[in-house]
Chain A
């Protein structure tokens, strides 16, 4: 158990809808990350928050947004959903702001499987 908690585990929704994915980081971790995993793209970085502030952004669609709250949990909001958004969405957390200088690896949750029909 990595200590990173994601809810819900599964989500089935229709095109055009909006969903919210939730993540609680490991105790003591200040950074939260969101990654998307699909069969053809592999694991793709979406966005990172550190202590409530956006730290880094990947190829995150404008229809997607995220935030990190004062208690450090994070939410990923996906709107105007399309069939191609079906994927596994992983949250990860780490102690420091980066994995290089702080030498703190990312620890992943077990993901939310999103199916858009």
Chain B
């Protein structure tokens, strides 16, 4: 069964304490892995797309990497404003559509 699993479910960091979030996936023929950030009461905000193993993308304190089985979102020296739920998703197999399979998310809290 195609699925996306994120770990940990929740993560508490001190400001400046770097860490990584994990997204493991089982899907036949990956055609895109997506990271989103979601703040309470808001819609998911697009962060990155990764298409092939070995690919890396960076944006400010965030860096996403991709292997054949999983993706990592590395957060370097986080700030309190990085607190949010981070969602990982993959494009569902079976045709060129925008149907994404989402993980349950990792809720990150960064304390000053």
Contacts and interface: CB of A to CB of B under 8 A. Distances in A.
Interface of A: 2, 4, 31, 33, 42-45, 48, 55-56, 58, 90, 92, 94, 97-103, 105-111
Contacts of A4: 43
Prevailing SS type, chain B contact patch:
loop
Given A31-B98, A43-B100, A111-B43, 9 more contacts: A2-B43, A33-B98, A45-B92, A99-B31, A100-B91, A103-B51, A105-B49, A110-B42, A110-B43
Interface size on B, as a range, is 20 to 34
Interface string B18-30: 0000000000000
B6 to A, nearest CB: 10
A107 B43 CA distance: 9
Contacts of A42: 102-105
A92 B95 CA distance: 19
Contacts of B96: 97-98, 100-102
Nearest to B105: A42
B86 interface: no
A73 to B, nearest CB: 17
Nearest to A57: B99
Given A43-B44, A105-B49, A56 B99 contact: yes
